[in-house]
A and B are shown apart, each in its own frame.
Chain A
Amino acid sequence: MAISKNDGPAITISSLTKLYNVPRQKQKRSAIRDLNLTVPNGEIFGFLGPNGAGKTTTIKILLNFITATSGHAEIFGVSSEDDNARQPIGYVPEQPYFPKFLTTLEVVKAHGSLSGFGFGSSKVQAEDVLKDLGMYDHRHTPLSKLSKGMTQRVAVATALVGDPQLLILDEPSSGLDPVGRKELRDLLLSLKARGKTIFLSSHLLSEMEAICDRVAVLSSGRLVGEGRPADIVQDSDKAIVLIGGLAQLDTLWRQDAAALNAEYKLDGPNVRFTVDGEAAYPLISRLIGHGGALISVTPERETLEDAFLRLVEQDLAA
């Protein structure tokens, strides 16, 4: 079946539910409940959620490792239960393992062949990908001799070797050092620039915020938030005021801060105030009156991590 990669979304998930039998119990446990999700083509899509939220279960259904109890998922318009749906997919599992008696090149080359390349071209493809990932010098090294970070790179290589349109990455930064993480981030951005779609499940929320076009937050198997990172985070009407030069033992500025409901925190020689936006100017005036010097005023902004924790806590409370 021909797969059109340019039209329509890369992933469409409709009313997806997965129930598991619990031993010695009549009731089934739900891993995912009525999940609806659309991943546009050509974007980096972040898939967030605490452990046990159902992220890996969703990915396993997309890859047809497990079957959904109800609902369905499509990859470029093809049902995920069709083996052809995996043609445009490259997948990096969480904590990847490979046959330890094989070498890096043997494994990556085999994945190239399984992706549809001929034996000759899969070797060329494998070598190119290993060069891109800085693993070419280790091409003849048995996988049992590689470090965790290197094994992770091999996993990325096996995913990239077929030149897939859609990359599904489950915690790809796991095991990578900061340099490796930056290289992976740059790689993902370059893949996006080439029009690839990246479906990224990760716990590193600061990285997700930096590179994702859209994110979805999953909690207890349900979607609790979806949109662009800027849409997920809540606007705040508070301001952060950083003041230097205040005598730290002085009680007068503390009284002024309390009068304007400003929270403060000592930050080295400076003091960091969090105050309602409209009270910021009066606070600054009073603090300057106490000998303080204004260093900066910034609007308080919720990070993606704050938003993630808020959404998950709201869901758990509900």
Chain B
Amino acid sequence: MINVFRHLTTLAGITMLEGARKQIFHVLMLFAMTLIVIATLLGFLDHNIQMKVIKDLVCVAILVSSCLISITLSVSGLPQELELRTVYPVMAKPIKRWEFVVGKYLGTVGTVTIGMLIMLAAFCGILLAYSGHVSAGVFMVMPFLLLEACIVAAIGVMLSTFCSTPLAWFLTVFVFMIGAFKFQLSEFLAAKDHSVVGKVVEAVGYQVLPNLECFNFKDSLVHDIPVSGIYLLQTGLYGFVYTVAVLTLASLAFAQKEF
């Protein structure tokens, strides 16, 4: 057990360090900051609901940026290790295949967390500058945005075990988009398609694809709507179980790989 912990923390540590030093991470962080600035400027268009618009748009900017970072880093991690053969010296150590997959995943999540902390600091700075205080809701919204990015990263890692990096990137973005609008999409399809096959496909898709909408608490932050602790707990548990399931699939796929 100690060895498993040591392997996971070591792999996660070097992956996180490497990810945080990559140029692509710096570029994406610059993109995120630009989005946050644009969102803040857009908030000034309407002085009556200025803070509501700023909170809303900055949350969207943080969500899009963090998911973009997690997708980009997660889909390239494993294929790059195989392509550049950096996997050889690591896998020659007494580590298990699943430890490698999970360690790489945790490292990616670590890098995304660093990015989100920087974005959170910027968000708090904006709120302090314009309203003089940071509402507690911010600290409720951010962990769930991170959890959403974690689920997206797990899907990226899983797809990268059997797809090329560009294909895995597009598929993960596709799943992210569907997951973010799953409920609306489901209602739309139910109204359009009445065939049995269509209903089966829709039902399977609905169960298999992640419901990312449930992690979005920005409305409660914007409109100061309280959220029950039980609901938060259930949502967190759903995210955790979904991530574990996806990582299990990724580990099983990677265990079959020859390199």
Contact = CB atoms under 8 A, between A and B. Distances in A.
Nearest to A65: B259
Contacts of B91: 63-65
B177 to A, nearest CB: 30
Q: Per DSSP, are chain B's interface residues mostly helix, strand or loop, or mixed?
A: helix
Nearest to A62: B92
Contacts of B9: 113
Nearest to B3: A116
Which residue among B84, B89, B93, B95 has the maximum number of chain A CB atoms within 10 Å of its CB?
Answer: B93
A74 to B, nearest CB: 15
A113 B6 contact: yes
A65 B90 CA distance: 11
Contact of A67 (B10, B84, B93, B258): B258
7 contacts: A92-B89, A96-B89, A98-B86, A101-B21, A101-B22, A102-B18, A114-B10
Contacts of B94: 83-87, 114-116
B28 to A, nearest CB: 15
Nearest to A20: B258
Interface residues of B, number: 26
Interface in A95-134: 95-99, 101-102, 106-107, 110-111, 113-116, 118-119
Interface of B: 3, 6-7, 9-11, 13-14, 17-18, 21-22, 84-86, 88-96, 258-259
Q: Which 4 A-B pairs have the closest CB atoms?
A: A91-B92, A101-B21, A114-B93, A113-B10
B86 A97 contact: yes
Contacts of B22: 101
Interface string A55-67: 0000000011111
A155 interface: yes
A98 B89 contact: yes
Interface residues of A, number: 37
Contact of B93 (A66, A97, A106, A115): A115
A63 B92 contact: yes
A206 B137 CA distance: 72
A93 B88 contact: yes
B69 to A, nearest CB: 16
A102 B17 contact: yes
A173 interface: no
Given A96-B85, A97-B84, 17 more contacts: A64-B91, A65-B88, A66-B259, A83-B95, A83-B96, A91-B88, A93-B89, A95-B85, A101-B18, A110-B14, A113-B6, A114-B6, A114-B11, A114-B90, A116-B6, A116-B94, A158-B89
Contacts of A90: 92
B245 to A, nearest CB: 23
A82 B93 CA distance: 12
A118 B3 CA distance: 9
B85 A106 contact: no
A98 B15 CA distance: 12
A316 B221 CA distance: 76
A144 to B, nearest CB: 10
A97 B13 CA distance: 18
A111 B6 CA distance: 11
A42 interface: no
Contacts of A208: none
Interface in A35-69: 63-67
B89 A65 contact: no
Contacts of B3: 116
A30 B92 CA distance: 24
A116 B2 CA distance: 9
Given A102-B17, A102-B18, A111 B89 contact: yes
Contacts of B17: 101-102, 106
B29 to A, nearest CB: 15
A135 interface: no
Contacts of A64: 91
A233 interface: no
B70 to A, nearest CB: 18
A65 B258 contact: yes
A67 B95 CA distance: 16
A96 B89 CA distance: 8
Nearest to A85: B94
Given A111-B89, A116-B3, A99 B18 contact: yes
A90 B90 CA distance: 10
A172 interface: no
B37 to A, nearest CB: 27
A218 interface: no
Contacts of B13: 110
A89 B92 contact: yes
A102 B85 CA distance: 15
Contacts of A101: 17-18, 21-22
